[in-house]
Every structure is written in structure tokens, then in C-alpha cells.
Amino acid sequence: MSSKVEAKRHHFLPQQAYLRRFSIAGKGEKIAVYRRGKAPFVTSLINVGVETDLYSLINQQGGLDRRLETEVLSSLDGRAVGVMDLLNNEPNKVALNTEELDTIHDSVALAMLRTPAFRDKLNRLDVELLERGERADPTIRSSLRQMNLAEEAIDFYIQAGLARAREIVAHPNYWLVRVGRFLELTAPVLRDKSAEILETDEIIITSDNPVVYDYNLGLLRSDLVFPIGSHRVLVFRTSCSRTYEAAFIPVRRITRAQARDLNLQTIKFAEQALFASVERQGIHRLLNAAKPPARMSLAERRFDVGNT
């Protein structure tokens, strides 16, 4: 088996398709890293947004199969390089064909779903669900009643959900099973939103949890903010009508103050680290002052199928 297949260090923030757009000018492929409670430092892109065997699967022999990262995710990241170049460099609007649009939607969906933070949130949600056992979340039952479903149908739906959760938790490739399912739900949601690129002279930062949206509203009803480079942000908006063709994404200038507001949202969503093309103590202070991000919770109806 080739060394490429055997790669153990898996990037949840792609190096060439994503991280290099936040690299420090004049320092090659190096980036500033800010972590809660620790001193900032500068390092190579290869050391950022990575976890050992994050995408490795357990094969029939009980060993690790690392081809998902090499043959699937790396392929998508490779396709995304050129599209991200367009998003970061076109001056007024970005013209994309159908394949390029699909690449962007998949890349943004996976930027949210493929992180360790997302995996850990799913773990907590399943623990919460299974700890409740036969007791259904009152808010879920209430929502189903609003759909005029019979109590027998509601009971069946809830029991089926519990059974599915138990099946997924017992699956040897738990993370893959869950992310594959959520990707099917997430990418179509992005396709139904309108998009624009915000450009600024201010430095834009990103994080280890880069897609920002309102948990309380859910993915379906939220605007999504996704930093795509040191001076540009991609925004997906929830709107009733489009004012431009889906194949064209307009570019709009925003002020430094507006950009700083976007950076604050990125900081609030960061799990453990921020990444930037500059070394600024102010970024570190803001991260240390920010509370850990809100968690998705069944009890608050932040993570139901309709919102995801």
C-alpha cells in the first residue's frame, strides 16, 4: 500500500484549497495561530487544522483504512482550489458553471461537517438522546403534534429515531455514517440560499469551526458566513427571491468596521483556535475573552432534521 494511502495526518481545513489564503505574506506557507489560554505562534500550514486518523475507517480485519481522506476528500479539495481562486480574485462578480457551484456548496458544507468539533457535537447529541431512553423530547413531540400527526405515528417516529441513534452509535465508523447523512441534508440547503462575496481592506480571520450561523434559527433559516481569504467572506443568505442568476456571485465592498464585526462572529464560533495572515495581540485578547461557542442541543430544538 502506498505511503499516500497510509497518510495518518488528516486535515479538516484543507491546506491548498483553504488555509493558504490566510497565510502570512512574505513568509511562504506559514500562518499565525491563536489558541485560548496559550501564546500565539506562527507555523507551517501542514501543522494547522489537522488530526491523526480523523477520517480513517475500520475495515473488516479491524485495521484502519485511510483511503477516504486520500481518494475522496483530497479529490474534492483539489477541485476546490481553482474555484476558491476565482472567489478570491474576481473583481466584480464571479461566474461559475454548475460543477463549480456544486464544488462550492460541497466544500462549504464539509467545512462545517468534517471538523472534530462537529463530530464531538454529534457524540453529545446522541448521548443526550439515548440517556432520555423512551422519554421523547417534549419539544419534538410538540412539533409533531403541530403537524396533526396521530399519537401512534408520533410514538413510531420517536421510537424509530431512538433505534436509529442506537444503530449509529454502535457502528464501527460512527463519524462517517453521521457526516454522510448530514451532507445529504446540508448541501441542498446551501443551494437554496443566495450568495454574495464581501470584500474589505481589513484582515479577515478564520477558525477551526469556520462556518458561522445561528444555532437558534438552525441552518435552514440562518444566513451563513464563511471566510474564504484574508480579505473576503462568502455569505449565503436566506431570502424569498433571488436578485441575480445563481451562476453569478456578486462582490460587494464593506467597511473595516463591518469586517471587524464579521471577525467577532468568527471568534465567537471558534472551538479552540483562530488562524490569520497577521500577528496581532488584539486577536489573541478577543479569543481569550470569548466564551466557548454555543452547543447544539435537543432541549432547545437547535438540531432537528428540519433545521439541518
With CA atoms as reference, report the closest residue to 115 among 50, 20, 22: 50
* Phi, psi for residue 258 in degrees, rounded to 5: -65, -40
| DSSP at 101 | H
117 belongs to a structural domain: yes
Output the pLDDT for position 296. 53
Output the pLDDT for position 4. 46
Output the pLDDT for position 299. 45
Residues in the chain: 308
3-state secondary structure 132-159: HCCCCCHHHHHHHHHCCCCHHHHHHHHH
Q: What is the dihedral of CA 193, 196, 202, 204, to 10 degrees?
A: 40
38 belongs to a structural domain: yes
| DSSP at 217 | T
Output the pLDDT for position 288. 93
140 belongs to a structural domain: yes
With CA atoms as reference, report the closest residue to 304 among 191, 136, 150: 136
Residue type, 199: E
227 belongs to a structural domain: yes
Range of the domain at 113: 9-60+76-307
- Is 199:91 a contact under the CB 8 Å cutoff? no
Output the pLDDT for position 26. 84
Output the pLDDT for position 293. 78
The b-or-e profile of 269-302 (16+ CB within 10 A means b, else e) is bbbbbbbbbeeeeebbebbeeeeebeebebeebb
2 belongs to a structural domain: no
Residue type, 59: N
Beta strand 248-253 pairing with 194-199:
parallel
Number of domains into which the chain is organized: 1
CA distance 156 to 120: 28
247 belongs to a structural domain: yes
* Phi, psi for residue 281 in degrees, rounded to 5: -65, -30
Phi/psi-derived region of residue 35, left when phi > 0, alpha when psi is between -120 and 50, beta in every other case: beta
Helix ranges (H only) for the chain are 67, 74-89, 98-113, 116-132, 138-146, 151-170, 174-191, 218-221, 256-269, 281-289
3 belongs to a structural domain: no
Q: What is the pLDDT along the chain (308 residues), one digit of tens a residue?
A: 344 446 777 888 999 999 999 999 888 889 999 999 899 999 999 999 988 887 777 877 877 777 777 777 778 888 999 999 999 999 999 999 989 999 999 999 989 888 888 888 877 777 777 776 555 566 677 777 887 778 888 888 777 877 777 777 777 777 777 777 788 888 888 988 999 999 999 999 999 999 998 877 888 889 999 999 999 999 999 875 554 455 789 999 999 999 999 999 999 999 999 999 999 999 999 999 998 776 555 443 333 333 32
Output the pLDDT for position 17. 93
Please give the C-alpha separations between residue 23 and each of 15, 43, 300, in angstroms, as whole numbers: 10, 10, 38
